[in-house]
Amino acid sequence: MYTPLTGQVALVTGASRGLGRAAALEFAAAGAYVIVTARSTRGHSTQATLPQTSVDDTLDALRAAGGRGEAHACDHTDAAQVEQLMLALRARHGRLDVLVNNAWGGHDPVNEGARGREVWEEPPEQLRNMLLGGAYSDHLTTLLALRHFEGAVGRVLCTTWHTEEPPGWLPYEVSKAAKNRFVYVLGHKLRGRAISVIGVAPGWMRTELMETHHTPEELAGQTETPHYAARGLVALAADPDALQHSGRVLDVGELADLYGITDLDGSQPQWWRRSRKGGT
């Protein structure tokens, strides 16, 4: 088995389900020691309407597949919790080779179904929660990781979304634009330290959330499993020349072209590439 990340330490946030869980499993399969975090712990889920998976379940699955790692409960919008996490990791490991910023709280149950038919009907707190659970979470976690590991983090990978043309849901688009600008600016600031900061934009993933809110007919066609983007994250982490992509947001289809990654069924979905035909 090819394990290009053997000996490396990777932190994957938001790893209780979806892309975070898939990333944890794929990084472990590539040989990394994987630290997984999430707010949802066994018996205490933040998403009551979704399957009750937790960060503890992810660790169990990772170990059952032969991987190595550990799990921590952490709300990545809480500076004190992130600070304690970084102190614990520095004391135990002394290094952090890869940080995968995947934590997301923008679809917490309190906001479900709150979309307005007109933009002025949107709940004002929707954007606040999406910014906190997205760009702010990435910002806080990355800065504290760099501080406690003295800037010696080799890769910062942020899961995100390409903003659409024509644009979609207002608060979602604005929150993802903030994440994408974070990748661009931080990549510029850290280039001199040879630290890659790269965004990865999946296509239409068949996550637990998507399967709850969409019919099988809506999900048919060019959808993908979370493992497709997760394998792209691993490929970037293992690429010695990844610095050339720093500051950019790469679609998972671009990563398939670059690295030859495939989804679990061997396919290479190009959902985003098809969806933006006719856009700018």
For range 248-254, the mean pLDDT: 96
SS (H, E, C) the chain: CCCCCCCCEEEECCCCCHHHHHHHHHHHHCCCEEEEEECCECCECCCCCCCCCCHHHHHHHHHHCCCEEEEEECCCCCHHHHHHHHHHHHHHHCCEEEEEECCCCCCCHHHCCCCCCCHHHCCHHHHHHHHHHHHHHHHHHHHHHHHHCCCCEEEEEEECCCCCCCCCCHHHHHHHHHHHHHHHHHHHHHHHHCCEEEEEECCEECCHHHHHHCCHHHHCCCEECHHHHHHHHHHHHHCCCHHHHCCCEEEHHHHHHHHCCCCCCCCCCCHHHHHCCCCC
Name the phi and psi angles at 199, rounded to 5: -95, 145
**Which residues are CB-contacts of 215 (< 8 A; sequence separation ≥ 6)?**
none
The angle subtended at Cα 119 by Cα 118 and Cα 123, nearest 5°, is 105
pLDDT, one tens digit per residue, over 59-100 is: 999 999 999 999 999 999 999 999 999 999 999 999 999 999
pLDDT, one tens digit per residue, over 187-231 is: 999 999 999 999 999 987 655 555 455 566 565 666 899 999 999
Query: What is 9-110+118-275's CATH superfamily?
Result: NAD(P)-binding Rossmann-like Domain (3.40.50.720)
Under the banding of pLDDT at 50, 70 and 90, the label for residue 54 is: confident
> What is the predicted pLDDT for the residue at 251?
95
Q: Of 235, 223, 222, which is closest to residue 261 (Cα–Cα)? A: 235
> What is the predicted pLDDT for the residue at 66?
98
Domain ranges of the chain: 9-110+118-275
> What is the predicted pLDDT for the residue at 204?
78
> What is the predicted pLDDT for the residue at 43?
61
- At 165, list the tokens: 């043309």
